[in-house]
Chains A and B, each alone.
Chain A
């Protein structure tokens, strides 16, 4: 069984469009995260949600908004996409008492 899943795996879209990436975890974890990995392989946290409450909010553009309908899901909505948004986006989850994070397979977003 897949622990953390993301859809879609690849996303190609044009500048100015609005898109969403979905994430689901079946580990029963309390916290979920979104990361952005750029072409230089730097991984930077974007958001962290714990029981539907935002606990870490990086200085990302407000075009990015996380939405968590329940503890098992954390979706990422992106409005007015820009070329610089092209990257691989990873979802992850962890148990509240531990720092070990389980990552999804990633979504490669290409903005043209």
Chain B
């Protein structure tokens, strides 16, 4: 079972780049790495997903080293509206029918003016 570890909280200022790292030492061969964002009183929202190397979309980048035991979510030029909790999720639904998907405790990002 792949367990994830993230920093509990991070502070930043508007316009800065924020990097949130997630450790997942027990990641399995078929596991994907997915990041979600959650605002208060809302459901989590998908940000980005990757398997190896680097993935970039319109909102973030995901850096995954060769050993895949960690990953870094990079948010360029954050704004106040990026204040949220960010969850790293590691897993693959389809390898094992009994596979457990467990989100970690998440990283609470506070963006200050």
The residues of A with any CB-CB pair to B shorter than 8 Å are 4, 31, 33, 35, 40-45, 48, 55-58, 90, 92, 94, 99-106
Contact = CB atoms under 8 A, between A and B. Distances in A.
A106 B102 contact: no
B101 A40 contact: no
Contacts of A35: 103
A78 to B, nearest CB: 19
Query: B-side binding surface: helix, strand, loop or mixed?
Result: loop
A43 B43 CA distance: 10
A42 B103 contact: yes
Given A35-B103, A94-B93, A101-B36, 9 more contacts: A4-B43, A33-B101, A41-B106, A42-B103, A48-B93, A56-B98, A56-B101, A99-B93, A103-B45
A92 B102 CA distance: 14
Nearest to A33: B101
A56 B44 contact: no
